[in-house]
Amino acid sequence: MSDKKPDLKSIQKVLSSDLKKSPSLPPVHLWKPEFSGDLDIQITRDGHWIHEGGEIKRPAMVTLFSTILWREGDRYFLVTPVEKVGIQVEDVPFFFTGLEVRQVEQGQELVFTSSTDDVVIASAEHPLRVATDPDTGEPSPYLMVRYGMEGRLSRNVFYQLAALAEERDGVFGVESCGEWFKIG
């Protein structure tokens, strides 16, 4: 580990120079830099990115940073080819704000869009799940995004999903890409 304290500008510099050239996700899973320390960044439960107490207001920057998120165990990191910095995540790092229902030849597809412009289709690879708070009974719906990281569905998106639900054998759920997901 170097003595240099990690900072947001060094990560932004690497991203701006190398990764912005390609529209696809960077190969974070291939990068193995040494841990550089923690940054004062937090992703809130509703998808806001906070740096040193203030919200990062540039959506393009947040979207860019979201492409280099990595999870190891219960910890989250921003990873570049040369740096790996720890960040805090209140619940999960992604927050879904949009839902589109598509009818395709194979059946229905549920297409979710996150606040960081990720587009994820619920499927076997990207399952939906609903956790229920044992104290309040409140449901929290999640969708697998990538690298073991999930996104939480906004209340509005969950209501849209609930409106699509069907009952099968006493269980309410939705279908996407031939998979059945229990939601209630």
Q: What is the pLDDT of residues 83-113, one digit of tens each?
A: 999 999 999 999 999 999 999 998 999 999 9
The CATH number of 8-89 is: 3.10.540.10
Give the pLDDT confidence of 143-164 residue by residue, as tens digits.
999 999 999 999 999 999 999 9
Q: Is 41 within 8 Å of 78 (Cβ atoms)?
A: yes
The CATH classification of domain 94-182, taken from the options 2.30.270.10, 3.40.190.10, 3.20.20.30, 1.10.150.130: 2.30.270.10
- Which candidate, 150, 144, 152, 129, places its Cα nearest to that of 74? 150
User: How high is the pLDDT of residue 184?
Assistant: 83
Six token digits for residue 34 = 């040494």
- Tell whether the model's pLDDT for residue 23 goes beyond 80: no
- Give the strand pairing for 84-89 and 35-43: parallel
CA-angle at 85, arms to 83 and 90, nearest 5°:
150
Strands (E), the chain: 35-43, 49-51, 54-55, 69-72, 75-79, 84-89, 94-104, 107-114, 119-121, 128-132, 139-146, 149-153, 166-168, 171-176, 179-182
Q: How confident is the model at residue 119 (pLDDT cuts 50, 70, 90)?
A: very high
Six token digits for residue 27 = 């190969």
Burial 123-139 (b: 16+ CB within 10 A, else e): beebebebeeeeeeeee
**Domain spans, the chain:** 8-89, 94-182
**Interval 6-34 mean pLDDT:** 69
Whether 94-182 and 8-89 are alike in CATH topology: the answer is no
Q: How confident is the model at residue 17 (pLDDT cuts 50, 70, 90)?
A: very low
- Tell whether the model's pLDDT for residue 33 goes beyond 60: yes
Q: Is 99 within 8 Å of 160 (Cβ atoms)?
A: yes
DSSP code of residue 120:
E
User: Angle at which helices 8-17 and 59-66 pack, to 10 degrees?
Assistant: 80
Q: Tell me the pTM.
A: 0.86
